[in-house]
Structure 1
């Protein structure tokens, strides 16, 4: 599977799960200990809003604080769909993977940036699903794509504090559970544990 397709599928998986959140679930806990469901969704929507300007060559300074604060408003599902639509269009532009993205830690190939966002969308889709009782099974091809990409980056992510310690998973665990463990997620997490 090519990267842009994986990105689109990750976006779709996340926005589908946002649309399924019930009104009573916005304050529910998530595997991200400091975040409830609304905070998690706001984080991902905000991150998704950054995709279009960054892939178009904008710098962090040029974007400024435009995507700080609440990005969900009164209709989180519509906000998620709108952000996803803009990000999808940006990812579909010709030559997008050959560009340079100006991130807070330095200039980065756009291909690497899109891999990072694809991974974040996939992992947070799982976070949202288990927090709200939705289907936690991720697209297996996206899991493979993200898992292959993340293998050589896991320690760098951990050393930078972007992820927590590796969660133990059985040696015979499936690819999704191994990926979740690599990102510091307990595949058996539930709001009741």
Structure 2
């Protein structure tokens, strides 16, 4: 990966956040490309992940961190909830700690570098999901798409076996890298 993974994650989270701030009042219930998720559920998911980042990077396990962030985390002010969670995650990822340290996730231990890469990929793909759901520009940052595609080429089989992504869709003829990446993640568009 040519871009620092911490920078890639921060940029993907910022792009997602820019779309969160564009959600119109009547769009929170719009369906998303994520099966059974509306816009509010999608944003809540990203907030949940973001709130978990500081504790997980500090050495707490997913079992210890997870219960604190269940349910509706958006409350009456989803924008404020997102902004606070994203700032906490970006701060935790941006510290001087080693990306080689161990992060204890629900499915096993991974390096902090792998964990941040997974966060980055999730934020990037969900940025497209949110753009599609609210009718915004669906073009993702090409540098981030390239970085995600390079990582996902090796991670796709593991993600599919774990059941955390949908079945791949055939990429349209002549699809660019973004189109091929989205198809691999089970998105059609």
Alignment TM-score > 0.5, same fold: yes
SS for the counterpart of 1:102 is strand
Q: Aligned runs of 1:27-66 on 2, under 5 Å?
A: 27-66=29-68
Secondary structure of the 1:97 match is coil
Normalising by structure 2, report the TM-score.
0.96
Match of 1:136 in 2: 138
Do the aligned residues in 2 keep the contact of 1:55 with 1:96 (CA within 8 Å)?
A: no
Question: Residues 48-87 of structure 1: matches in 2 within 5 Å?
Answer: 48-87=50-89
RMSD: 1.0
- Deviations along 1:112-155, one digit per CA (max 9) or x if unpaired, are 00000000000011000010011111111111111100101111
| d(CA) in 1 for partners of 2:63, 2:186 | 31
Query: What's the CA shift string for 1:53-79, capped at 9, x where partnerless?
Result: 111111123224110000101111111
**Which runs of 5 or more structure 2 residues have no equivalent in the other structure?**
none
Q: Structure 1 length as normaliser, TM-score?
A: 0.94
SS at match of 2:69: coil
What residue number does 1:180 align with? 182
Match 1:145 to one of 124, 139, 147: 147
CA distance in 1: counterparts of 2:158 and 2:66, whole angstroms: 27
Deviation (angstroms), 1:171: 4.4
Q: How much does 1:170 deviate?
A: 2.7
Shift of 1:172: 2.2
